[in-house]
Structure 1
Amino acid sequence: MTINIVGIDCASDPRNVGYAFGTFSENGTVVEGAALGSNDLLPAQAIADWLSNRSGPTLLAMDAPLGWPEPMAQSLVNHNAGDSLAGSANYLFRRETDRFIRERIGKQSLDVGADRIARTAHAALELLESLRHLLQRPITLAWQPEVEGLRAIEVYPAATLVAHGIESTGYKAAKGQEARERVAHAVGSLIRIDVPIPAMESKSDALDAVICLLAAHDFLWGKVMGPEDQALATKEGWIWVKEC
């Protein structure tokens, strides 16, 4: 069975969103398109346009937190200004998946409870809601590789690169084109990239979207690390990364 996959490098500014389209099957993953967002063609509309011409199940792989730390949520329910908060900042502002990725991969994702990534998370959830409206279809999170309908997962390109042993130093820098080309070549040895990746000379957004497709590829093969506490992951979200 062929599964449509969409990689989305989320951002609060549509111009900084990268997205990539592909397909997954028993023969592997093929990248069919990659683009950057704009104010003229918003990412949600571009993705909806592509999906409207496709049949079969679809998996969205999104580089953004899709949930918030449960301890923070519980601490704020009855909190009043000036009151103390029980627990350390790391305990309150980081999710279990953030701690897990740090322990297993050695990469520290940004704290959705404290960093600017919270705005990206909000934008990602808005994008999901826009897609639900445009496509008139429900979108729920996937927890197993057997995908039906339209599902989404949270991914983290930097951790995916580490899990695959891909050297990525400097690939996000404005002048990091050589590093980006090196990363793209390595990713292309794992999934087939049949199209050019835009703006490689100046930014990594579209490349990150392609790496999201690699993370989706790992998820659909069932070669990823899942949560031990499913109930907590359902509340906070979970970053899907290849076993290593």
Structure 2
Amino acid sequence: MENAIAPDVAPRSVLTAGVDLAAEPKKTALAIVDWSARGARLVSLAVGVDDAAIVDAAEQVDSMGIDCAFGWPDDFVAFVSGHAQSNRVDLSNDEGMAWRRRLAYRETDREVHRRMGRWPLSVATDRLGLTAMHCAALLDAIGDRIGSVDRSGAGKVAEVYPGASLRIWGLLVPKYRVDRDARERLLQGLTAEAPWLDLGPHIDELLRTDDALDALLAALTTRAHLVGQTFPVPEEHRAQAAREGWIALPSGPLSALLDGLAP
């Protein structure tokens, strides 16, 4: 595909990229937003993006957000490793659903549940495994180009969750991932709340597929993370987050994304 970043990006602007990752390139989307004194402009949007294009973008932008779990729960990894070595499962310690849920969810998933009252999909037990495997390889490839990726989001690349961002910003429209009319209502709400966001010629693509829309939302969330408008990783969970990953949840309104832009 052609270079992901448009050639007319204004100098001294800030670029954030959002990736809606899928198990295969066909449904993987990449959005790049240019942040400058003019506001924000969606300068590039593509669906059907391969890893090489994502790695190239990671090198060129200021920050990238990827919609996928960056790792697996520590307890799940230990359980599977022990099972592979034929270690017995001590049923006397089986706490039922509480035990299974501890294996299924990462600490960041529990944090999302505490803040929002909803569980994200489990990377260990839901239909995310193939995409997470893809993500693990992609993070390594990005690391080869820009240096090791900190899965806690402390570096240039962060884990994002567009659906949660929409809830926090008060913009979620049910069924937007499967219904074009819902996507249209979501975009209307987004542009009304953020009149400074220029979507350029990409509106039809945003309406056509939820992959494109989630990539845009990932790029917006990445901006929130870049300007310090996401909840920090609690100190006691930093080491765990570096292994499991940590979801960057916006801590402020959509308008906070303009923080730091020159007048």
The TM-score by the shorter chain falls in which range?
0.7 to 0.9
Q: 1:234, CA displacement in angstroms? A: 1.3
Residue identity (%): 26
1:20 pairs, out of 18, 31, 37, with: 31
Partner of 1:242: 250
Deviation larger for 19-28 or 219-228? 19-28
User: Are residues 1:182 and 2:185 paired?
Assistant: yes
Deviation larger for 220-229 or 60-69? 220-229
Q: 1:127, CA displacement in angstroms? A: 2.3
Partner of 2:146: 137
Deviation by residue 1:87-114 (Cα, 9 ceiling, x = unmatched): 6111011001111112212332111111
Partner of 1:69: 73
Q: 1:132, CA displacement in angstroms? A: 4.5
Tell me, in whole angstroms, the C-alpha distance in 2 between the residues paired with 1:26 and 1:235. 37
**For the structure 1 residues 27 and 239, does the alpha-carbon distance in structure 2 shift closer, same or farther, using more than 3 Å as the test?**
farther
Alignment coverage as a number of residue pairs: 229
Q: 1:129, CA displacement in angstroms? A: 3.0
Matches within 5 A, 1:63-102: 63-79=67-83, 80-81=85-86, 83-84=88-89, 88-102=99-113
Greater Cα radius of gyration, structure 1 or 2: 2
Name the aligned partner's letter for residue 222 of structure 1: G
Q: 1:171, CA displacement in angstroms? A: 0.4
Q: 1:203, CA displacement in angstroms? A: 2.5
Name the aligned partner's letter for residue 24 of structure 1: W
Partner of 1:170: 175
1:45 pairs, out of 40, 52, 76, with: 52
Tell me, in whole angstroms, the C-alpha distance in 1 between the residues paired with 2:42 and 2:170. 21
Partner of 1:110: 121
**For the structure 1 residues 24 and 209, does the alpha-carbon distance in structure 2 shift closer, same or farther, using more than 3 Å as the test?**
same
Partner of 1:154: 159
Partner of 1:230: 238
For the 8 Å contact 2:152–2:241, the answer to whether it is kept is: no
User: Are residues 1:213 and 2:222 paired?
Assistant: no
**For the structure 1 residues 74 and 158, does the alpha-carbon distance in structure 2 shift closer, same or farther, using more than 3 Å as the test?**
same
For the 8 Å contact 2:151–2:244, the answer to whether it is kept is: no
Tell me, in whole angstroms, the C-alpha distance in 1 between the residues paired with 2:241 and 2:58. 28
Residue ranges of structure 1 left out of the alignment (5+ in a row): none
Tell me, in whole angstroms, the C-alpha distance in 2 between the residues paired with 1:144 and 1:184. 27
Name the aligned partner's letter for residue 209 of structure 2: K
Residue ranges of structure 2 left out of the alignment (5+ in a row): 1-11, 253-263
Tell me, in whole angstroms, the C-alpha distance in 2 between the residues paired with 1:28 and 1:106. 33
Q: 1:76, CA displacement in angstroms? A: 3.3
Partner of 1:126: 137
Cα root mean square deviation, aligned: 2.6
Name the aligned partner's letter for residue 78 of structure 1: G
Q: 1:200, CA displacement in angstroms? A: 4.3
Deviation larger for 103-112 or 64-73? 103-112
For the 8 Å contact 2:152–2:238, the answer to whether it is kept is: no
Tell me, in whole angstroms, the C-alpha distance in 2 between the residues paired with 1:26 and 1:234. 34
Q: 1:242, CA displacement in angstroms? A: 1.1
Structure with bigger helix share is: 2
For the 8 Å contact 1:32–1:195, the answer to whether it is kept is: no
1:9 pairs, out of 3, 10, 20, with: 20
**For the structure 1 residues 161 and 67, does the alpha-carbon distance in structure 2 shift closer, same or farther, using more than 3 Å as the test?**
same
